[in-house]
Amino acid sequence: MSVLSELKVGNSAVLVALNLPDSVQNHLMHMGFVPNSLVTALRRAPAGDPTVYGVGGMEIALRHETADSISIRALDVKDYPASAPSKSPKRAVVELAEARR
């Protein structure tokens, strides 16, 4: 397990937990940051902060300090769509990301 701030641009992971004050946590959860959702690092500001993340079809910019408090895990075979066995793992992850947008 790692934290969202460590996710490289273009990579995806599964959100595990938000370790934030209730008000911030509730706000993010209303925007799709819920456990087991797919989150993708889309782009980073030129100075490195904030980073734009895609989750549930939304794009949300988070500061590094906030993303440091969000636990993620790497994508696993169980996160692939049902049709994944006939596809390469990389293609299955891309399709999963597209389906969840």
- The pLDDT tens digits of the residues spanning 40-93 come to 999 999 998 999 999 988 999 999 999 999 999 998 766 655 444 444 445 555
Q: Is CATH 2.30.30.90 the right assignment for the domain spanning 2-99?
A: yes
Q: What is the pTM of this model?
A: 0.74
Counted residue by residue, the chain has a size of: 101
Tell me, what amino acid is at 101?
Answer: R
Please provide residue 44's backbone torsions phi and psi, each rounded to the nearest 5 degrees.
-125, 145
CB 72 within 8 A of CB 8: no
Please provide residue 82's backbone torsions phi and psi, each rounded to the nearest 5 degrees.
-60, -30
